[in-house]
Amino acid sequence: MSTRTGQELLTVGQVADELGVTVRTLHHYDEIGLVEPSERSRAGYRLYTADDLTRLQHVVVYRRLGFGLEEVRLLLDHPEGVEQHLRRQRAAVAHRLEEMRELVAAIDRALEREESGMRLTKEEQKELFGEGYSDEYAAEAEERWGDTDAWKQSQERTSRYSKEDWVQVKAEADALNAAFVAAKRAGLAPESTEAMDAAEAHRQHVHDRFYDLSHEFHRGLADMYVADPRFTRTYEDLEPGLARYVHDAIHANADRHAG
């Protein structure tokens, strides 16, 4: 056998290792006349020339691109040079890469929806929750509460919600806020039955839709409504002074259920 700098002849095993295919595959290509080794050893073993190896390399590329064996045969037997084959292969690979990038992007979007527990597109999120919805807020919430049982329970529940479910959740939340606004505008104290009932309905909504919420845990949420300016602004945009009103009503309701 000659050296690689000359007309080196490669055995089936060497070709299989170099191209990452099986010996059985090479035998099959030989049997169907797709790539027949040009030489034989004295013992009758198949030996491949540099031209044979080039043809095999084209076969491997086309096969990995999804072409059938007969399609590959037609491509290789077409009267064109190696450069044209390589250009065609490059174009096909570039097209496949673009498809793969699009697929990866689609998978990433699906993963994002799964991890966020919200099976909505960004456009649907803004449609339902308005411009106030922010990926940054969602990420911050996960960072602050991601290790808590409540967060994990909420993620598990909401991961199954469809867009229709989220529409219903939003409608329920809007009705709860409207009840608080109506009570406040009517001049009712946060300790009034109407305001406390609105607070209890709010607690039950979170309890049913997101995570188990005790009355004591509900107090903690109420405190956050007045401590975090972003939560405060959400209520203040509905009605001036509403954040404090909701806070006081929730605490009053918790007191009502204490003991």
pTM over 0.85: no
pLDDT of residue 111: 64
Instruction: Give the number of other CB atoms < 10 A from CB of residue 136.
Output: 7
Give the DSSP letter string of 90-130. HHHHHHHHHHHHHHHHHHHHHHHHHHHT----HHHHHHHH-
Angstrom distance (rounded) from CA 256 to CA 129: 32
pLDDT of residue 61: 87
Mean pLDDT of the chain: 81
pLDDT of residue 236: 93
Largest CA distance in the chain: 106
pLDDT of residue 3: 39
Angstrom distance (rounded) from CA 25 to CA 71: 17
- 135 CB-contact burial (10 Å; exposed 0-12 / middle 13-18 / buried 19+): exposed
From first CA to last CA, the distance across the chain in angstroms is 94
Collapsing DSSP to helix, strand or coil, 41 comes out as coil
Task: Name the stretches of the chain with pLDDT < 50.
Answer: 1-5, 128, 131-142
pLDDT of residue 204: 94
pLDDT of residue 133: 43
